[in-house]
Structure 1
Amino acid sequence: MTNQERLQMEIKGIILSTDELAVYLLENDLMVSDSYNPSDKTQTRKIYETALSILESISNQPQLMKNYSHDDQTVSQFHENLMARIDQLENKIRKMKIEESKAANSNGCFFMLFNQ
């Protein structure tokens, strides 16, 4: 699975061109065709950050902030649901950064600075 395929899993239902996906991935230091490694937490966090960027771009389109009806089904409060998903991703990313910093600090190395 490539980074692009993993990103598409995260943003299911959002249609973007291959070039647009490539730009979002490159902005987060990910190569489109590189293989996705689920055990690499940094890479996973970057995928989430890329999905967050896409959702934030969508939230900047006021014409999307309305209720939709399709075949007797209504999707209401699109904006509220979108903002809730953005908040969820931000929290997930923030927690991943904290976990990464704890792991980096637990390797037994530390730095002390003394002022004389």
Structure 2
Amino acid sequence: MDRLKMEIEGITLTDDKLSIYLQENNLTATEEYTPSSNISKKNIYRTALAILESIANNPTYMRNLKNDDMSITQFSENLNNRIDSLDRKIRLMGSNDSDDGTGASFVYLFTD
């Protein structure tokens, strides 16, 4: 739960709602976060992405979250940029804990 709150800093949701988002991404609020686990990290990012997408789909909530010096349009653009960035990060991450987490894949080509 604490790691998720770090990822979505500035967004206030009840612990019950956060727990539901965590459960939807194969995590539990009481489970200890393992920073070295690609699976845990990816699931935290997926959870944060789900929360951001929920905010983006709810204009009323966006209006309540925006800063005083930022318009709703700017807030929406920044939110969409963060969603795109997080989505890309998730796609590049390894799917298991034996991956190095760089998202790189190697292809060996041999020529005669």
**TM-score clears 0.5:** yes
Aligned-pair identity (%): 46
Encode CA deviations 1:1-57: one digit per residue, 9 max, x unaligned. Answer: xxx000000000100001000000000000110100000011000000000000000
State the TM-score, normalized to the length of structure 2: 0.77
In structure 2, which of residues 12, 26, 30 is the aligned counterpart of residue 29 of structure 1? Answer: 26
Asked whether 1:93 is paired with 2:90, we answer yes
In structure 2, which of residues 46, 51, 54 is the aligned counterpart of residue 54 of structure 1? Answer: 51
Runs of 5+ consecutive residues of structure 2 not aligned to the other structure: 100-112
- Size of the aligned set, in residue pairs, is 95
Question: In structure 2, what residue type is equivalent to 1:61?
Answer: N
Structure number with the bigger relative contact order (C-alpha 8 A, sep ≥ 6) is 2
Contact residue 65 and residue 79 of structure 1 kept, 8 A: no
User: CA, structure 1 residues 81+69, in 2 after alignment: closer, same or farther (shift >3 Å)?
Assistant: closer
Moved over 2 A (4+): 63-66, 100-103
Q: Give the match's secondary structure for 2:93.
A: helix
Larger radius of gyration: 1
- Larger % of strand: which? 1
Shift of 1:75: 1.3
Question: In structure 1, what residue type is equivalent to 2:39?
Answer: T
Q: Give the match's secondary structure for 1:22.
A: helix
